[in-house]
Structure 1
Amino acid sequence: MFCFSILAAAAAAACGSDEDPGNGANPPGGPNGFDNDGSVDPNAQPFDVTPADLQTITVTTGQPAPTVEYKATLNGQPIAVGWSIDRGDIGAIPKGPSTSSIFTPKGTSGGLATISAGLNGRIVTRQVFVKVVSTQNGADPNAPGESGQIPKSPDDLKAGGGVGGVGGEGLGGAVTDPAIISALGSPQDGSGQNLGLLYPYDKTFFPRGQLAPLLMWRWTTGDADAIKIELSTSSGSFTYSGTFGRPAILPSTKFTRHPIPQDIWDIATNSAGGKLPDGTPDRLTVKLTVAKGTQAYGPIVQTWNVAPARLSGTVYYNSYGTQLVKNWTALDKKGHAIGAAILGIRSGQLGPQLVVGKDSPKDGNGNPADNSGCRVCHVVSSRGRWLVTQAEQGTPGNGRSFLYDLSAADVPNSSVQLANEGVFAWAAMTQDGSFALTNSVDPSSSNPGISGASNNTAKSSFWQFGATPTTAPMSGLPNNVAAGYPVFSPDDKKVAYIDATGATKDVHGALVVADYDAATHAFTNLKTIVTPAAGERIGFPSFLPDNSGIIYETEVRPSQSDSVMVTRDGARSEIWWVSLADGATPVRLDALNGKTSGALYLPKLPNNHGAGTATDPRSSYDETNLDDSTLHYEPTVLPIAVGGRAWVVFTSRRAYGNQLTATPWQSWPPDYDTTDLNQGAVKKLWVAAIDLGAAANSDPSHPAFYLPAQEILAGNSRGFWVLDPCKSDGEDCSTGDQCCNGFCQPNADETKLVCTNAPPANSCSGIQEKCTTSADCCDKSNQCINGFCAQGVK
């Protein structure tokens, strides 16, 4: 009984997964008479742990790690206690019971960890600050994270998501010339060389657990022999310096891009993201120095934000020109067979997986004989169970719908053809897919997926959804309403749509929001919250996870081929938001779209990307004086808050640094060689963080990052970032939102995290674990957002 009580006390002080709880170097006050510095309340009994002072240790990667031994006493005598740590990603301490225990850093994260010693309900806390230091010269093929960043053949450069899931030519070798090493250590200012980063962007917000970004730069010299990359956190929890020569696969091409080593990126992002003692974020600074011969220039300096959490779930998206399936009769410009399908990406993967779509029958030349295997236009329920997609068959022409169960072991063969054609294209499903409000707008003017949309007679209907949908009673929406691009909020308490009633062919309707009662299927409190300006369209609304606002697209220049919102043929759009607070006005998300204080921060590049016009095979518009800030479309939002923020995935035709620079609307496969990386489509998926709790008329967005692992050659769009089908108790997990019962905790022998139905001793909920109110969260600065504890944004 004694052992149980001391271990339970320590565990209660450190419940939750290994994620940073967000307190970083500024933890909450100590319990039971002990302050953060470990000092003892004079009124408390003399239960003590030494050393009492903050311990600071430095871990050099590849070398033995120093340790700290903690000893517990009661009345000056050794006493067996239970031990625990709040940051299992930083280090470990044996749980006892024992009179002493040794903290050992893992070397994979730096930062401040709190050690707790528990004795019969009392807890003493002590702190240790771990600094991780790393240096390298050239790629390390034996490092687990770096092997995927070293291409073995030229074909690796264009396979799947590209090298390391982000493109480029991979990691360079060691710099062996002492003169170049010396030059990299004492560079000249690079402004005269027009030295600057094309990607990533300054002040980007990255989550943890992502693939390392590809650094891409430009300068007048145009080529380099060697580079130096430096990374450091504001707190000093991590510092890194790495030098690299030209990648081995790059003998004759200019050296203008290089990735951050994956193992280093993991340590850097695991270390950054907490808070400093003054409450400001522990940010990550990157410095890049480039050398040609024995002269170096730089460094280029940027500061990035890191969210102290990992993004859960899967991104499901359309891919036109995918190499994973062959199902289109239209060949590319060089006669290569191509495909159109729905692909999926999970965090950490180097390339996408085929989810829905299959090869079509072949003709006598071995090419697709028809388009029967094509599956692209789709919607996904926010809890990740159900996917609805269209086929290029039916009445009207693209009106046949299929329902897929994403929890099935064999998703492609889980499909059910829905009997009702011309009804379910882009329908809004409730979070579990049990009910649906249908859409009344065709996916495009050449994709007749909705009956009556092309002659303005389409109207929406309400269904109890599943393999055999049946109409369901509902109330509150206007008779014959035509809801365009409808969407339910993540908690099923609201719905939003574009009012296209009587005008489904040429859509210019307003954005309407209503309350929804899932028990009675009643829609109430209908309110028009955005009316488009003359000549503009709005569409693709998506709720923030706390229902505080809606992200949506504003089309500022129409397509030359469509009277509904599309991404093609010259269409230009921006991403906006509107708060649902009374009196709020719409705000353009400048930081996401590419501007700071009204000035463009996106690089101006040739091929209609702001620095020179070129012929685009799909647009005859004059692109003079236009840039990439109006090339953003189709936003959707992850249904839960992660790292205290919302995350929006959107389609963009902006240039991707110097890796993808084709003209914006070149993504129709017959217009180009889909196997040539130099012609790769810029139509890709990007992700941006959105601050929750922002003022109604402010811009809560941050600069976006390129979604890793998407197929680098194909044109990609319409991404839905949703939670995966939940896991049962006992299955492996990393966060509680992956679990059906909402909790992810250590198993009995503490060797891994598994799903469970409650936290230890039913104490409180950790980050991304189940909650009903904010009071359920262990950290009282957290908020309960859409049923899960999330870091609050200050």
Structure 2
Amino acid sequence: MWNRLAIVLVLVAGCGSRGGGDDGGGDASSDPLLGLASLTVTPADQTLVILQGQPATSGYTATGTFTDGRIEDVSAFVSFTLGEPTLGGFAASQLTTTTAKGGRTQVVATGSGVVGMTGLTVRLQQTHNDPGSTLPADPAAPFGGPADVGRTPQLVYPNDGVVVPPNLGRLELHFRPGAQANSLFELTFASAVLDLKIYLRCTDPLDGGCVYLPDDQVWLWVAESHRGTDPVMWSLRATDDAGTAVGASSAQAMRFAPDDVSGGIYYWTTTHRAIMRYDFASPTQTVAEQFVGTEMTGGTCVGCHALSRDGTKLVAEAGGQNDGRLLLLDVATKTPIVPFGSTQKSNFESWNMDGSAFVGVYADTGATNFNLMLFDATTGAVTETIEAGGTATNPTNHPDWSPLGDRIAFVNVGGKNTLQMMYNGEIRTVAKAGGVWQPHQVLVPRAAGKNRYYPAFAPDGKLLVFDESTCNAGNTGGECNGDTDPTALLYAVDGIAGGAVTALAHANGPGVADEGATKLTNSFPKWNPYVFRSSTTGGRLAWVTFSSTRRYGLRRPPGNGTLLWMAAVDLDAPAGTDPSFAAFALPFQDIGTSNHIAQWTTQVVGPIQ
């Protein structure tokens, strides 16, 4: 939603300007750049400061070296531009910066086909009073008092090293104020391109701490100054209005991805027994809306669901364990494609690349087919069974169709109960070659005392994440049955070649308020369907969502339920290293409900209410 906020630039004469001359044509003898060999741009590598909303200005000189040895000022005959035009613009050789953000770029001089450049750092320096706080006339003055470690505040959320999309828009910052006497706070965002100080009160107290939500202007300054570049460090100082003493927190890093996240997200809330949705590309939506509840299933709960990649079709299982009736829905018209419950039963599903078919599994009451079943998306009929080693004792479960369309990952159950609650699973794949599904391969074998389940392919079709939970004793128990297990952790493996398994330690990691707890129920991973850049210079980044019982900073999870979390994953991370970053809670979900299985689509089809 926030990617629609305009970045206002002070641009003079467009994004570049030249003082005169011609790059070509005319009388060669009168061409002032004839014989130009190189250009030197000065001042070199300077830093310009945008101070309290006032643009910075600077004149630039282009010095030409010619083939005959002459060295001359040719500023009037070249064009000056910025490599990153959103940072400012030129009138002839005079630069005027934007006031909207800081950043790094190149000043480029071009003439007669010759290019010269130098570096430029634009630094935004700003103080800002939180509009929701009542502050002293000069809120900065009390922070000149003496330092006192007894006044030290504590940063609680988000975790150090978090990466967020620049269009997230809403990222709460949680802190504990330190000493009870602390009533005035200075929040600093600092980097080579930003020096932002925000003065605030604890206007939203919670569980012994404070919640601060940056306003639109603050978000714009911070996110746009660091989009796809170096991290920004945030820290807090605390005092009272008299400046009696000042405590200072440690600093933590926050990064912003270079690209806005797009796509739709559909998740299941057990509290309302409904499927909710949110459109990341919407300029107006701020909270998830209910998409479908029990109105199409005769009052029966809809839960485990899957969306076609293009968002046009939804399949959802109703009734939970030992039911398996399917709702196959046209999303745009919100009408059933076939009558509810008229197809072969299934517990878990996943769609192929073009949305023409989905794969399902069923091993509960009345089951006769324990392998992978392919369903036609128009008729709901089972058109093919993929032999995957499934039996009544060891059925298949949790299928996930690769976005490349060439293979399906799934679970082979080691200890049967129902498919919702099963034990000692292992991760397998089947691949299609020459139009024929090949014999299955074991990707991550079963292990004593472990349950491995819920595989999900990343959008590159190679990296695969899955859950692993640990039993208290033996291979069974409610704590390791694959259904929001307390010990569930996310792991990654090469989904094609297999090999070493790596824990997503940063994504799995607890927050400050969890006080070292590791049983956080990190469950049901799903991926945004796109591969994004990891920085402005390249690399590949993807986003994974999952549910967890960890604390949302100072906020406790709803009852015994879970909230939805999201983490960046580096698809180019070296093998054997953790590719994940610290996770953040999705801000648009209802934090009073228990939320699960955040399925993604490339787009939201049909109007958001």
State the 1:210 CA deviation: 1.6
Question: Which position in structure 2 is the counterpart of 1:654?
Answer: 550
Relative to structure 1, is the Cα distance of residues 722 and 557 closer, same or farther in structure 2, using a 3 angstrom cutoff?
A: farther
State the 1:385 CA deviation: 3.7
Alignment of 1:418-497 (within 5 A): 420-440=342-362, 452-454=363-365, 457-463=368-374, 465-473=376-384, 477-478=388-389, 482-497=395-410
Relative to structure 1, is the Cα distance of residues 298 and 74 closer, same or farther in structure 2, using a 3 angstrom cutoff?
A: closer
Relative to structure 1, is the Cα distance of residues 44 and 132 closer, same or farther in structure 2, using a 3 angstrom cutoff?
A: farther
Say whether the 8 Å CA contact 1:602–1:628 is kept in structure 2.
Answer: no
Write the distance in 2 (CA, Å) between the matches of 1:138 and 1:463.
56
Alignment of 1:533-548 (within 5 A): 533-548=447-462
Q: Deviations over 1:366-406 (max 9, x none)?
A: xxxx963854321123344432223449x96451322233x
Question: Which position in structure 2 is the counterpart of 1:231?
Answer: 189
Write the distance in 1 (CA, Å) between the matches of 2:41 and 2:550.
56
Find 2:600's aligned residue among 712, 717, 721: 721
Write the distance in 2 (CA, Å) between the matches of 1:63 and 1:561.
62
Relative to structure 1, is the Cα distance of residues 44 and 371 closer, same or farther in structure 2, using a 3 angstrom cutoff?
A: farther
SS of structure 2 residue aligned to 1:427: strand
Relative to structure 1, is the Cα distance of residues 715 and 662 closer, same or farther in structure 2, using a 3 angstrom cutoff?
A: closer
Relative to structure 1, is the Cα distance of residues 556 and 502 closer, same or farther in structure 2, using a 3 angstrom cutoff?
A: closer
Write the distance in 2 (CA, Å) between the matches of 1:78 and 1:70.
5
Write the distance in 2 (CA, Å) between the matches of 1:263 and 1:416.
49
Say whether the 8 Å CA contact 1:344–1:355 is kept in structure 2.
Answer: no
State the 1:44 CA deviation: 7.5
| Bigger mean CA offset, 297-306 vs 117-126 | 117-126
Question: Which position in structure 2 is the counterpart of 1:691?
Answer: 570
Relative to structure 1, is the Cα distance of residues 244 and 502 closer, same or farther in structure 2, using a 3 angstrom cutoff?
A: closer
Find 2:278's aligned residue among 339, 344, 347: 344
Say whether the 8 Å CA contact 1:231–1:239 is kept in structure 2.
Answer: yes
Relative to structure 1, is the Cα distance of residues 502 and 196 closer, same or farther in structure 2, using a 3 angstrom cutoff?
A: closer
Say whether the 8 Å CA contact 1:372–1:392 is kept in structure 2.
Answer: no
Q: Deviations over 1:38-59 (max 9, x none)?
A: xxxx998347585573343211
Find 2:44's aligned residue among 48, 53, 57: 53
Say whether the 8 Å CA contact 1:317–1:716 is kept in structure 2.
Answer: yes
Say whether the 8 Å CA contact 2:415–2:424 is kept in structure 1.
Answer: no
Identity of aligned residues (%): 20
Say whether the 8 Å CA contact 1:224–1:291 is kept in structure 2.
Answer: yes
SS of structure 1 residue aligned to 2:224: helix
**What is the alpha-carbon root mean square deviation over aligned residues?**
4.0
Work out whether 1:586 is the aligned partner of 2:501: yes
Say whether the 8 Å CA contact 1:349–1:709 is kept in structure 2.
Answer: no
Find 1:382's aligned residue among 283, 300, 309: 309
SS of structure 2 residue aligned to 1:310: coil
SS of structure 1 residue aligned to 2:248: strand
SS of structure 1 residue aligned to 2:221: helix
Write the distance in 1 (CA, Å) between the matches of 2:34 and 2:521.
65
Unmatched tracts of structure 2, length 5 or more:
1-6, 8-32, 67-71, 535-539
Relative to structure 1, is the Cα distance of residues 299 and 257 closer, same or farther in structure 2, using a 3 angstrom cutoff?
A: same
Work out whether 1:259 is the aligned partner of 2:170: no
State the 1:630 CA deviation: 3.4
Question: Which position in structure 2 is the counterpart of 1:242?
Answer: 198
Alignment of 1:107-256 (within 5 A): 107-116=99-108, 123-139=115-131, 172-176=132-136, 181-186=140-145, 188-190=147-149, 192=150, 195-218=153-176, 221=179, 224-233=182-191, 236-247=192-203, 256=210
Work out whether 1:706 is the aligned partner of 2:596: no
Work out whether 1:530 is the aligned partner of 2:440: no
Question: Which position in structure 2 is the counterpart of 1:288?
Answer: 236
State the 1:498 CA deviation: 0.5
Write the distance in 2 (CA, Å) between the matches of 1:221 and 1:262.
30
Aligned residue identity for 1:132: L
Question: Which position in structure 2 is the counterpart of 1:498?
Answer: 411
SS of structure 1 residue aligned to 2:554: coil
Relative to structure 1, is the Cα distance of residues 181 and 417 closer, same or farther in structure 2, using a 3 angstrom cutoff?
A: same
Question: Which position in structure 1 is the counterpart of 2:525?
Answer: 635
Aligned residue identity for 1:228: E
Q: Deviations over 1:681-733 (max 9, x none)?
A: xx211111222233333322222111121112222111123322699xxxxxx
Question: Which position in structure 2 is the counterpart of 1:731?
Answer: none
| Bigger mean CA offset, 70-79 vs 85-94 | 70-79
Say whether the 8 Å CA contact 1:475–1:523 is kept in structure 2.
Answer: yes
Write the distance in 1 (CA, Å) between the matches of 2:414 and 2:221.
53
State the 1:313 CA deviation: 1.5
State the 1:573 CA deviation: 1.1
Aligned residue identity for 1:565: G
Question: Which position in structure 2 is the counterpart of 1:449?
Answer: none
SS of structure 2 residue aligned to 1:492: coil
Q: Deviations over 1:178-228 (max 9, x none)?
A: 6x74443446344x4674222111122223222242222236645742211
TM norm structure 1: 0.61
Write the distance in 1 (CA, Å) between the matches of 2:566 and 2:181.
30
Write the distance in 1 (CA, Å) between the matches of 2:357 and 2:383.
8
SS of structure 2 residue aligned to 1:453: coil
Question: Which position in structure 2 is the counterpart of 1:509?
Answer: 425
Write the distance in 1 (CA, Å) between the matches of 2:81 and 2:376.
47
TM norm structure 2: 0.78
Structure index of larger Rg:
2
Aligned residue identity for 2:314: L
Aligned residue identity for 1:318: W
SS of structure 1 residue aligned to 2:446: coil
Q: Deviations over 1:78-102 (max 9, x none)?
A: 88777764424433568xxxxx376
Aligned residues: 552
Relative to structure 1, is the Cα distance of residues 84 and 574 closer, same or farther in structure 2, using a 3 angstrom cutoff?
A: same
Question: Which position in structure 1 is the counterpart of 2:513?
Answer: 603
Find 1:62's aligned residue among 53, 69, 82: 53
Aligned residue identity for 1:380: L
State the 1:71 CA deviation: 7.3
Relative to structure 1, is the Cα distance of residues 647 and 274 closer, same or farther in structure 2, using a 3 angstrom cutoff?
A: closer
Q: Deviations over 1:443-471 (max 9, x none)?
A: xxxxxxxxx42466442444363232344
Write the distance in 1 (CA, Å) between the matches of 2:500 and 2:231.
32
Relative to structure 1, is the Cα distance of residues 563 and 418 closer, same or farther in structure 2, using a 3 angstrom cutoff?
A: farther
Unmatched tracts of structure 1, length 5 or more:
1-17, 19-41, 95-99, 140-171, 276-281, 323-338, 362-369, 441-451, 596-600, 611-626, 668-682, 728-794
SS of structure 1 residue aligned to 2:580: coil
SS of structure 1 residue aligned to 2:126: strand
Write the distance in 2 (CA, Å) between the matches of 1:187 and 1:261.
30
Aligned residue identity for 2:130: G
Question: Which position in structure 1 is the counterpart of 2:87?
Answer: 90
Say whether the 8 Å CA contact 1:594–1:703 is kept in structure 2.
Answer: yes
Find 1:302's aligned residue among 241, 248, 252: 252
